[in-house]
Chains A and B, each alone.
Chain A
Amino acid sequence: MAVSAEQRIILDARGSFCPGPLMELIRGIKQSKVGEVLEVWSSDQGSRKDIPFWIQKAGHQLVEVVEEPGYSRFIVKKLR
């Protein structure tokens, strides 16, 4: 876990397979405070559906999905 210039928590789960990146995100959300923004990086194809689905189900906010070459960045705000 690292913190970027904008105080975002970065979870680099690239190279990890389904459901690894989702599990990293859940762990990260558990450890962070309400209002904090996390970014999970994933090269796993399952994440594209699994991560937004979980965020909605868990009641957090998917701020943005940024497509990068070979991976996606899911930007998530912890709401509760």
Chain B
Amino acid sequence: MPNRMSMVVFSGTVDKLYPAAIMASGAVAMGMDVEIFLTFYGLDAFRMGMPQTNQKMDVNYAELAPRLAQLMKEKNVPSWYDMLLKAKEMGNVRVHACAMTLDLMGLKKEHLDPIIDDVVGVGEFVSNAKDGEITLFL
């Protein structure tokens, strides 16, 4: 069985993008390959320029958001995007864009952040995930 973690990243809020980046880092640290499938709001968060500017947080925790943002700044926590870049530098992390979402939004790969490796269909992602040991949905 391949030593692999697969993740579907559906959410585009910073509070969910952090665990995606941190889980990817942890998997890389433990020598695992990582497959990330970005769909819907998760893909929206990777439109060109979005990783650097997106500050959206889950509305259920809206009252916590400014406080958390302030703490992260004070404590020099790297952005989720920098964490993901670092994980990609250190190991085998593949970032895939959902073809259906791209079609729906009328976007092409060149409209997306360069961290994205390719555009794939759900079938390809699922058949790859089938062989792995861990699959997460965020």
Task: Type the 1/0 row for A53-80, where 1 means its CB is closer than 8 Å to any CB of B.
Answer: 0100110000000000000000000000
Q: Is B67 engaged at the interface, CB distance under 8 Å to the other chain?
A: no
Q: Which chain B residues in 69-84 approach chain A with CB under 8 Å?
A: 75-78
Task: Tell me the dominant secondary structure on chain A's binding face.
Answer: helix
Question: What is the distance, in angstroms, from B99's C-beta to the closest C-beta of chain A?
Answer: 31
Q: Is B26 engaged at the interface, CB distance under 8 Å to the other chain?
A: yes
Q: Which chain B residues in 1-58 approach chain A with CB under 8 Å?
A: 22, 25-26, 29-31
Of the residues A15, A16, A17, A54, contact of B29 by C-beta under 8 Å: A54
Task: Select from chain A the residue with minimum beta-carbon distance to B86.
Answer: A23
- Rounded to whole angstroms, the CA-CA distance of A20 and B78 in the bound complex is 9
Of the residues A15, A19, A22, A57, contact of B76 by C-beta under 8 Å: A15
Question: What is the distance, in angstroms, from A47's C-beta to the closest C-beta of chain B?
Answer: 11
Question: What is the distance, in angstroms, from B43's C-beta to the closest C-beta of chain A?
Answer: 25
- Rounded to whole angstroms, the CA-CA distance of A54 and B76 in the bound complex is 25
- Rounded to whole angstroms, the CA-CA distance of A23 and B77 in the bound complex is 14
Q: Is A18 engaged at the interface, CB distance under 8 Å to the other chain?
A: yes
- Rounded to whole angstroms, the CA-CA distance of A58 and B29 in the bound complex is 10
- Rounded to whole angstroms, the CA-CA distance of A8 and B22 in the bound complex is 29
Of the residues A15, A20, A54, contact of B30 by C-beta under 8 Å: A54
Let me know if B26 and A26 touch, CB within 8 A.
no
Given contacts A19-B25, A19-B29, A50-B29, 4 further A-B contacts (CB under 8 A): A17-B77, A19-B26, A26-B90, A58-B31
